[in-house]
Structure formats: structure tokens, C-alpha cells
Amino acid sequence: MPTPQLRQYQPSDQATVWQLHVGGLKQTGSFIDDRKYDQDLLDIEKTYLKNGGEFLVALLDNKVVGMGGFSKIDDQTAEVRRMRVNADYQGRGIGSLILETLIQKAKDLGYKKLELDTTVNMKTAIQLYEKHGFKEFKRGRAGHLESIFYELGLE
């Protein structure tokens, strides 16, 4: 398999990123058809890129097959969000590549900690985060879904 290329999100990626997001949630039964949970994806530049964060897309043959970003919580902490890999490309290390790059970029920007949450039914995501050293620190509910909250120290 060719190596995926990572680059920063561009406005022309908007529709593809949205499809990837919805497809990933539907794949795990986590999709809630309510845009209030997805406001960040409606203005990625403002939410991520212009606010101390990052948002990357992974490309294979000029096709967006993965994505992920982080947004600033405070001067010390950022939140990893919207990690998705197209179902046809999962299991090829694309998620790890995106996450490792985001971790390094967060360190480069001076963050001391990353946080994230995922739902209990996103088994592959849980494995990915734990493989990269994220530790569970609490659980909670968002509607009908149980969420797991993770953190990773960057020092």
C-alpha cells in the first residue's frame, strides 16, 4: 500500500470531511442526527486552525481517507477530536499516523496534556488511543451513548 500523505485541512475538503465523519459514526452506531454535536465541523478553520489547534486529512491517491484534529482547551491542554478513517482503509496504520502527528504538533505548540473522548462502542478507537498511551480518567453519558474520557501527558 502506498504511504498516506498528511496535510492540513483546506476548505475544499469540507464535504468529504463531513461524509467521513458521518460514515464513521454510522459504522459504529454512534451517529446522532443533530448538528449541535457537530458545530466544530461546520467551521474547521475557526474552531481548529485559527484557535491554537490543528486539523489534518490523510490522502491516498489524492482521496481523503482519514482525518483528525485537536482544539485548544486552555494554554496547557488540547482536545483530540474527529479522528476518522474511511472503513475501506482501516487497519492500515492511517489512524496511528494521524494521531502520532497530532501528538507531536501539540507538543510543538507547547501543550502539556491532550484529552479526548470516545464512545464505548468505538472499539477500534479505544485500542488506538490506549496503544498510544492515553489513560482513561472518567466515564459519562451523551444521550444514549456511554463515553470514555482519556488523557495523555505530553511532558
Residues 90-108 pLDDT 10s: 999 999 999 999 999 999 9
Tell me the domains of the chain and their CATH numbers: 5-153 (3.40.630.30)
**Calpha distance 9→55 (Å, rounded):** 6
Q: Which residues contact 59 (CB under 8 A, 6 or more apart)?
A: 4, 5, 6, 7, 65
At residue 134, does pLDDT exceed 90? yes
pTM above 0.85, yes or no: yes
Q: Which residues contact 45 (CB under 8 A, 6 or more apart)?
A: 9, 11
- Of the pLDDT bands very low, low, confident and very high (cuts 50, 70, 90), residue 3 is confident
pLDDT > 90 fraction of the chain, expressed in percent and rounded: 70
pLDDT the model gives residue 141: 85
Residues 33-75 pLDDT 10s: 555 567 788 899 999 999 999 999 999 988 999 999 999 999 9
Strand 5-8 relative to strand 63-72, pairing = unpaired
CA 85-116-26 angle, 5° bins: 40
113 by DSSP, 3-state: which?
strand
Rounded to the nearest 10°, the torsion over CA 35, 36, 42, 44 is -140
pLDDT the model gives residue 93: 94
**Calpha distance 8→76 (Å, rounded):** 22
Residues 77-91 pLDDT 10s: 999 999 999 989 999
Contact 149, 116 (CB under 8 A): yes
pLDDT the model gives residue 40: 86
Q: At what angle do helices 123-131 and 94-108 cross, to 10 degrees?
A: 50
Q: Which residues contact 38 (CB under 8 A, 6 or more apart)?
A: 21
Mean pLDDT for the chain overall: 90
At residue 111, does pLDDT exceed 90? yes
pLDDT the model gives residue 31: 57
Range in 27-31, 111-115, 118-122 the model is least confident about? 27-31
**Quick one: how far is CA 23 from the chain centroid?**
14
Rounded to the nearest 10°, the torsion over CA 134, 137, 143, 145 is 50
